[in-house]
Amino acid sequence: VMAAVDMGGKAATNVYSDQDIDELMALTGLSGSVTTAPSLIHAAIERSKPNMSDEERLAAAQKVNDSGVVDALIGMIRADVRRLLDADTKKDVLTWYNGATAKKILQADRAATTQEGLKKLQDAAASGASRVRDFDRTEILRELDYVSRAGATQRQVLDDFLEILANVVKDQAKLLEAKTGILTAQRDAPEQMIYAMDFVYSDIEDDELRAFVTFFKTKSGQKWVQVLRGHTRALWRKVNEVSVGILQQDALNALQRQK
């Protein structure tokens, strides 16, 4: 690994090959996360237009493909890795994710991203307040949320979504309604994140979760948290931008056909 040096003699970026970063992404689960973007966009469009014809679905699929969302997200991750991870940090991240505990946690994460897993996750988050949880377990989850900044990132994602809506929704009453819903979701984000983690990591032992927290607390772990947060925010911004853009264009086309 070589470091590019700026005029002041400080390391400006780390020169990893694309293959180096792709291997890191595969090991840490980011590759799988990136590839969910098209399906998340399709799901958003389906929710807004549940009665689409097969022809409309094919047209939407082509628009998603043309958006280049997956390549864009991969490019963003590569840039963040080169900016944030020096050789020692990258080594620490690789060491953690090659361990048995990290692999078990990643398996739980992947299970929650399947269509069935997402449905169960949403149900678990919605009913979380009505479930009795162990106090010590909940405190571990709260600490994990704090060091990973998962809930804070979710609030930023909602800020980004509101910004996107504000640029396209001209009806101020509808925009205010959307803003009210987003503000409510942001208020509930910390507890919703605990409910979600409680479900996703139900088969992960307390000591394993504590090891996860310990890794995130390290200097290398915190740098990796920045990569993860950047990816999560970029993923949902792209998903929302593309889906809203497609829906907006479809609405304009429908208006033109009516004229």
The per-residue pLDDT for range 81-122, each reduced to its tens digit, is 999 999 999 999 999 999 999 999 999 999 888 778 878 888
Separation between Cα atoms, residue 138 and residue 128, nearest integer Å: 12
Q: 36, 114 in Cβ contact below 8 A?
A: no
Classify burial at 117, counting beta carbons within 10 Å of its beta carbon; exposed 0-12, middle 13-18, buried 19 or more.
Answer: middle
Tell me how crowded residue 62 is: count the other CB atoms within 10 A of its CB. 10
Look over the chain and give the mean of its residue pLDDT values, rounded to a whole number: 88
Least confident of 22-36, 39-53, 143-157, 205-219: 39-53
The pLDDT tens digits of the residues spanning 138-166 come to: 999 999 999 999 999 999 999 999 999 88
Separation between Cα atoms, residue 212 and residue 201, nearest integer Å: 11
The first and second tokens of residue 61, run together, are: 């699929």
- The whole-model pTM stands at 0.86
